[in-house]
A and B are shown apart, each in its own frame.
Chain A
Amino acid sequence: MSVTNLKLKPQATPQTSAQVIALGQTASRGIDGRLSRFVTQTVTNLLPLLVTLTFFTLAWQLICSSPESSLPAPSRVLEESWELIAHPFYIGQGVDQGLFWHVFASLQRVALGYAMAAAVGVALGTLVGQSALAMRGLDPIFQVLRTVPPLAWLPLSLAAFQDGTPSAIFVIFITAIWPIIINTAVGIRNIPQDYQNVAKVLRLNGFEYFGKIMLPAAAPYIFTGLRIGIGLSWLAIVAAEMLIGGVGIGFFIWDAWNSSLISDIIVALIYVGIVGFLLDRLMALVGRAVTRGTANA
């Protein structure tokens, strides 16, 4: 939980800064003042979250505390899954691994499938955005294929690859690629006429135009696609792994269900949520770093 809290902080800071300065003036100055300002800032940012978290945990505890409840209360989760929570880096036999290793295995699959989706997606998106002919030929196909649910691809890819891991990677690839293609194409199509005119006056060749104008101009759109793509990949991997088995957070959840370890499922879900959140933040951060200054002229 503390990881999420830390991550939220920088975002919320600007909103409260005005208030904090006013408080700081009345407080003592120097290191002392800075420290107290930091504390007030942290408290104002985190307090609402802590309150809601406490409220939800209490409510959950109350609702699930009766002995015949089908789901465990938080106290029971802690009690039953303490081994799991306390030893994320545990290394055992086969699928008996610490949660970190399960998440790590899932992340590896996502990294591979997503990287391929990003490369192919940006290339195809550029093609469709650049050429009206390619647009007419490919876009209808993309529009249909992107509505196919990720898991519907799994049987087909199992038949093609005859193996679980490549199939899961393919599912990630096919899930993440559509928003990347579509957003890239929109970004390329929306390159302002001005920039195209500049390129024409300078007589940039195709290669220079791609690197100097097209990619930077479309970068904000591309990163929107990449960010949606990473979210979808993480959604898909958990589902895909439930079916293919092996080490991975998805199969861990499925395995826990088969062994009626409901508390373990809850712990795993918290992991899945936090990792998904971190992936999204990571892409947003990379996007902001790369597209710095491109959005506004």
Chain B
Amino acid sequence: MTKSYLSLELLDKSFERGGTRTEVLKQVSLTVDKGEFISIIGHSGCGKSTLLNIVGGLTQATTGVVLLDGKVVDEPGPDRAVVFQNHSLLPWLTVYENVRLAVDKVFSRTRNKQERHEWTMRNLELVQMAHAAEKHPSEVSGGMKQRVGIARALAMEPKVLLLDEPFGALDALTRAHLQDQVMQIHATLGNTVLMITHDVDEAVLLSDRIVMMTNGPSARVGEILDVPLARPRRRIELASDRTYLTCRESVLKFLYARHRFVEAAE
């Protein structure tokens, strides 16, 4: 067995409420190599956010273990920076201060003030938000907020970047723009990324592999699809690309033919 960078081993998660036990995840295993971009796709309620939270350390798995770079993950930490669905910027801090808070915390010992300032600005430039550094989150658009959220996560230099439906709340055009930016950043920095999504195109466009989850309760990894598309990928060229369309079709088939969302399950 080769040693992988991030590995999820036989994760089970169940919640207990009022004496009834609900099994959310069952025997979820996954190995991720360094620099890989992995999407996790599934219908709502299949526990994909729970899975991400377990990797993030925000939720504890009932059984099973997450290993990152040879270490067990059992608490949250900046080596697994999360970009939350609703950006989660602190509204009382400016765009700059939001990123700086993370930079100050992570590099308090290793970098001096000037270096931390420069690193904050570098990351804001990376997501093209340096111009709005002094604005408050309420003064910028939803897409910009999400970009700041990404900058904050990137600034922590995480071993793995966790994206929880990062573009879910955005309009289609903004979403496409941000997807391109994330691809660009991934190409430049080579981060290991784990992204939750419910958007088939997004998954195929961005990922090296797509993890498809079966419906909950007791969701498990149904299938893992390789996306053998060369990078850099351009969405317009891909629109008629055979491989792209095949990948897209197999995800759609999995989601809508074999694991159709059952209303009664909700």
Interface, chain A (partner B; CB < 8 A)? 194-195, 197-198, 200-204, 208, 212-213, 216-217, 219, 291, 293-297
Contact = CB atoms under 8 A, between A and B. Distances in A.
B219 interface: no
B47 to A, nearest CB: 17
A216 B58 contact: no
B247 interface: no
B208 to A, nearest CB: 24
A294 B91 contact: yes
28 contacts: A194-B86, A194-B88, A195-B90, A197-B58, A197-B82, A198-B84, A200-B58, A201-B56, A201-B76, A201-B78, A201-B80, A201-B82, A202-B101, A202-B106, A203-B77, A203-B78, A204-B105, A208-B105, A212-B90, A216-B90, A217-B92, A219-B92, A291-B92, A293-B91, A293-B92, A293-B136, A296-B138, A297-B91
B68 interface: no
B251 interface: no
Nearest to B102: A202
Given A203-B105, A212-B90, 13 more contacts: A195-B88, A197-B76, A197-B82, A197-B84, A200-B57, A200-B75, A201-B56, A202-B106, A293-B92, A293-B138, A295-B91, A296-B138, A297-B89
A193 B92 CA distance: 16
A188 B82 CA distance: 23
B141 to A, nearest CB: 13
Contacts of A194: 84, 86, 88
Contacts of A293: 91-92, 136, 138
Contacts of A212: 90, 101
Nearest to A291: B92
Given A197-B84, A201-B82, A213-B90, A297 B76 contact: no
A296 B77 CA distance: 27
Contacts of B166: none
Interface of B: 56-58, 75-78, 80-82, 84, 86-92, 101-102, 105-106, 136-138, 156
A212 B75 CA distance: 21
The secondary-structure label for the interface of chain A is helix
Contacts of A295: 91
A200 B105 CA distance: 12
B90 A198 contact: yes
B122 to A, nearest CB: 19
A293 B137 CA distance: 9
Most buried by A among B57, B58, B90, B138: B90
A213 B138 CA distance: 17
B109 to A, nearest CB: 13
A197 B90 CA distance: 11
Given A194-B84, A212-B101, A293-B136, A201 B77 contact: yes
Contacts of B82: 197, 201
A202 B105 contact: yes
A102 B105 CA distance: 52
A291 B136 CA distance: 13
A57 to B, nearest CB: 45
Nearest to B90: A195
A195 B156 CA distance: 17
B78 A198 contact: no
Contacts of A291: 92
A159 to B, nearest CB: 45
B99 to A, nearest CB: 11
Nearest to B152: A198
A15 to B, nearest CB: 23
Contacts of B58: 197, 200-201
A208 to B, nearest CB: 8
Nearest to A293: B136
A297 B84 contact: no
B159 to A, nearest CB: 13
Contacts of A202: 78, 101-102, 105-106, 156
